[in-house]
Structure 1
Amino acid sequence: MEGIRTSAIAWLLLSLAVLLLDQATKWWAMTAIPDDVAIAVVEGWWNWRRSYNPGAAFGLLGGAGGWQRPVLAALALGVSAYLVYSLYRLPRRAWRLAVPYALVIGGALGNAADRLSRGQVVDFIQWYWRDFFWPTFNVADMAIVIGAVAIAANGLMPPKLSQGQAA
């Protein structure tokens, strides 16, 4: 059991790194980017643009009147707690699940920290092409999406069979 705990702690350090990177970049965005001003990073494709999201992904529930903030924060904390529990139960070499779990934990906690401290999430990365603008996002959002896609991909892949096992 001790080996499993050591492994889980290592993956939780990845979660902590995601959380710290997310909060550091949001601090930078809040101090360096004026509200609702687009600063071109790659002309025609990528801006820094600080905005605030009181809702969920893609602005869902943004105008719900405030009840959504504690609910979304509680949901993020609950999912994170479940994934921490799952990390402790993963076999030591199950990095294909451990990495995505760690990414989702770090991202969920980063956005939950914003909701609990500011009442809204700070976003600052804006991608666009011509007149199509993707919803502004942040480092936590990237970690959550990458982690969730990897978890789903793991669920779609057939398990590897040990040598000598029949298919």
Structure 2
Amino acid sequence: MSEQALTLKQSGVRWLWVAIVIFFADIGIKLWVMDSMGYGWANRIEVLPFFNLLYVHNYGAAFSFLSDQAGWQRWLFTGIAFGVTALLIYWMSRLPAKEKWNNIAYAMIIGGAVGNVFDRVVHGFVVDYLDFFWGSYHWPAFNLADSAICIGAIMIILDGFRSKKLRTSN
């Protein structure tokens, strides 16, 4: 085995399987939603008193940011996702595989980003299907990819606090 291959095997890149699992789960759920549910709020499935399943399109980014634009945002968000994914894979290649927390966080963000990019490129929009609400307040609809991105980002933030605490205690 070459030294470079051995180095990659020992790096955080070996955690990319997490991204692959998230990507395929996200795409599978989205395809199921598109094939089995009617579009829009009128066709929602009430699951719990605070949670519905529904099928809606998001032409923007988080919280439908820029969704009312003419379509250029599709390519902007795709480019950003590719840039972030490349950066995170680079960081993973520099981290040892045993650094599980950050590698998993990066992989979650990558899996979610690539899942949403797939939607943007193939459909021209992102499929959202999770609807949480309290009374008349509805959180914007989202999907598994969005959840993975948010959880990964929270993990990175928490690691920043954890690392700072470890540095100050030494």
2:71 matches 1:28: no
> Residue 129 of structure 2 is aligned with which of 118, 124, 130?
124
> Residue 85 of structure 1 is aligned with which of 82, 90, 111?
90
Alpha-carbon shift at residue 33 of structure 1 (Å): 1.2
2:84 matches 1:54: no
SS of 1:137's equivalent in the other structure is coil
In terms of fraction of residues, the more helix-rich structure is 2
Q: What's 1:5 paired with?
A: 8
Q: What's 1:73 paired with?
A: 78
Q: Which runs of 5+ in 2 are unaligned?
A: none
Q: 1:110 & 1:129 partners in 2: Cα distance?
A: 28
Q: Is the 8 A contact 2:15 2:107 kept in 1?
A: yes
Write the letter of the residue equivalent to 2:148.
A
Alpha-carbon shift at residue 14 of structure 1 (Å): 0.9
Q: Percent identity?
A: 35
Q: Is the 8 A contact 2:12 2:98 kept in 1?
A: no
Give the root-mean-square deviation of aligned CA atoms.
1.5
Residue deviations 1:53-112 (CA, integer Å, cap 9, x gap): 000100010001111000100100110011011111002311110000000000000001
Alignment of 1:97-112 (within 5 A): 97-112=102-117
SS of 1:122's equivalent in the other structure is strand
- Judged with a 3 Å threshold, the aligned counterparts in structure 2 of structure 1 residues 93 and 64 are, in CA distance, closer, same or farther, namely same
2:44 matches 1:41: no
Q: What's 1:17 paired with?
A: 21
Superposition misfits of 4+ residues, deviation over 2 angstroms: 1-4, 7-10, 158-161
Q: 1:147 & 1:31 partners in 2: Cα distance?
A: 29
2:127 matches 1:113: no
Alpha-carbon shift at residue 3 of structure 1 (Å): 4.7
Q: Is the 8 A contact 2:60 2:68 kept in 1?
A: yes
Q: What TM-score does the superposition give when structure 2 sets the normalisation length?
A: 0.90
Q: What's 2:147 paired with?
A: 142
